[in-house]
Structure 1
Amino acid sequence: MTDLTVSLKDFLDAKADQYNRPSFIERDPISIPHRFSQKQDIEIMGFWAAVLAWGQRPVILKKSAELVELMDGAPYDFIRHHQESDLKRFLAFKHRTFNATDALYFLHFFRTYYQQNDSLEDAFLPSSENVNLTSDSSLIERSLIAFHDRFCGLTDFFPERTRKHIATPARNSSCKRLLMFLRWMVRQDDRGVDFGIWTRLRPNQLVMPIDVHVNRVARQLGLLTRPQTDWKAALELTDALRAFDPADPVRYDFALFGLGVEGEM
């Protein structure tokens, strides 16, 4: 590394350490799954909060909390045991372009899926692959494509309008919200923010989620040059950060996001 690269790594290491702390949780969508201790509750509300994570953070937190209330404060239990009459309460739910039709399909997907699986991690694993032998970002690309196809093709009940809420690299989407969810589930450290409850996908395989703050700061620091903010941009930024920390490149999400949202850049 050049002296300039070393200085940038030291700077980002310090900022990642500064923001990767429990104090980060309260104002972030990750606070929603942090309400729970059971793995399936964390998965359900982590996934749902991530999917709803666009717009102002207070609104995201409010709408995610509304979903928790609609599921009687116990998402996994509600998913497994609700009656058809219980679904009426979701008919008024809306967050930006996410509406009742989408919410009802999410409930249907979760119920059908958890009848046959213990963890949502299985839905993100490409078929017939030993993921532990794969260390590059191509595994996550295949994982997101596999999840999209499973989520959208689970039953004939799928409403086509809901597809826009589940991004896929196959459409060259940056997949920001799903990558954020994977960071929450997969990253393992002792800082108390990310959960690290999934073990078959590993931190060194993760790809950086690029939101508006990360995008701006990464470009200012020369870590991202691709004009479009798409899947290829996510890979470019991840590769740049992997040079700093091959085992856990996505930990720098804390640094870039924190620098952006706090206005330090």
Structure 2
Amino acid sequence: MNFEELKDYLDFKADQYNNPNFIESDPIQIPHRYKVKEDIEISGFLASTIAWGNRKMIINSATKMMDAMGNNPYDFVMNATNNQIDSIDNIVHRTFNSEDFRYFIKSLRNIYENHGGLENVFAANNSINLQNRISAFKQIFFEIDHPLRTTKHISDPLKGSSSKRINMFLRWVSRNDGKGVDFGIWKSVSPSELSCPLDVHSGNVARALGILNRKQNDQKALMELDLALRKFDPTDPVKYDFALFGLGVFEGIK
């Protein structure tokens, strides 16, 4: 396919999968259970943090986290007693466990109490590249006493990671195309800044289509993919995540 044919194909596939039916089998269903901005962003952040592996397992594990917070994530983050937080011991998703979850709650409280909330952390550094802002966010997230093991659950683009999960979270909260999947509740991050959540599915499809050459799904591959997708749509390049992911997961392209 030439450039125009490939763009038309990706636009068609993005439209095909970017609709409310996508929510039913995707972890984005977790924040879609809420209406209040803080509930959406906290539940979305937690669900995206564990978004690797089988999607049904991700949804089940994220549901357990919401249950542990009484299905009122913002209220729990801000008002739970130390005893309530420390009593959480039934959260396990692959390498993410209750110790990690308890710290995430405490760190989120610190962010809302001392940094103006999750969105404000990213807005405070909006003069620099979004991937650098992700790295700065990680520093803030771990500025209070924390278990060393937990740091692996927030990726750092400046250390070579594609940061798939946090890029996915940023897509959820920053895009609003009126199609009912992404929320667009953040105004401090422009859709034009977003990067594709690069995983095994989107990476393999991008390589099959000839828009990604690098073999590893790392930060260098993300930069290569970003450059290609921005040529198709510089204002909303990450909409093609729906096309790449859908072609990989639902159509089996490898």
Deviation at 1:125, TM superposition (A): 3.7
1:142-183 superposed Cα distances (whole Å, 9 cap, x missing partner)? 111111111122x1x211111100001121001000100010
Match of 2:18 in 1: 20
SS at match of 1:216: helix
Q: Deviations over 1:1-26 (max 9, x none)?
A: xx711001000000000000000001
Distance 1:73 1:126 in 2: 29
Partner of 1:181: 169
Counterpart position of 1:145 = 135
- In the alignment, the residues of structure 2 paired with residue 261 and residue 141 of structure 1 have an alpha-carbon distance, to the nearest angstrom, of 26
* 8 Å Cα contact 1:208-1:235 kept in structure 2: no
Gaps of 5+ in 2: none
| Alignment match of 2:215 (pick from 220, 224, 227) | 227
| Paired position in structure 1 for 2:148 | 160
With the length of structure 1 as denominator, give the TM-score of the two structures.
0.92
Match of 1:36 among 28, 34, 37: 34
Match of residue 121 from structure 1:
119
Query: How far does the alpha carbon of each residue in 1:205-232 deviate from its partner, in whole angstroms, 9 at most, with x for none?
Result: 1111111110110000001001221111
Distance 1:88 1:116, change over 3 A: closer
- Post-superposition Cα deviations, 1:48-86, rounded to whole Å, max 9, x if no partner, equal 000000110110000000011110110001111111221
Matching residue's letter, 1:176: K
Deviating more after overlay: 116-125 vs 176-185: 116-125
- CA drift of 1:91 comes to 1.7
- Please give the alpha-carbon distance, in whole angstroms, between the structure 2 residues aligned to 1:224 and 1:71: 41
TM-score under structure 2 normalisation? Answer: 0.96
Residues 208-219 of structure 1 mapped to structure 2, 5 A cutoff: 208-219=196-207
Task: Please provide the CA RMSD for this pair.
Answer: 1.4
* Of 160, 176, 191, the match for 1:172: 160
Q: Which residue of 2 aligns with 1:66?
A: 64
Report deviation, 1:119: 3.3
Shift of 1:124: 2.3
- Cα offset, 1:117, TM superposition: 4.3
Cα shift at 1:126: 5.3
**2:51 touches 2:165 (CA, 8 Å); kept in 1?**
yes
Letter paired with 2:201: H
Q: What is the CA-CA distance between 1:236 and the residue it aligns to?
A: 0.6
Residue number in structure 2 paired with 1:93: 91
Offset, 1:88: 4.1
Q: Which amino acid in the other structure matches residue 123 of structure 1?
A: V
CA distance in 2, matches of 1:103, 1:190: 32
Counterpart Cα distance in 2 of 1:86 and 1:61: 23
Alpha-carbon separation, structure 2, partners of 1:13 and 1:73? 36
Alpha carbons 1:33, 1:45 under 8 Å: kept: yes
Shift of the 264–100 alpha-carbon distance from structure 1 to 2, 3 Å rule, reads closer
What's 1:204 paired with? 192
* 8 A Cα contact 1:174 1:210, kept in partner: yes
Aligned length: 253
Q: Which runs of 5+ in 1 are unaligned?
A: 132-138
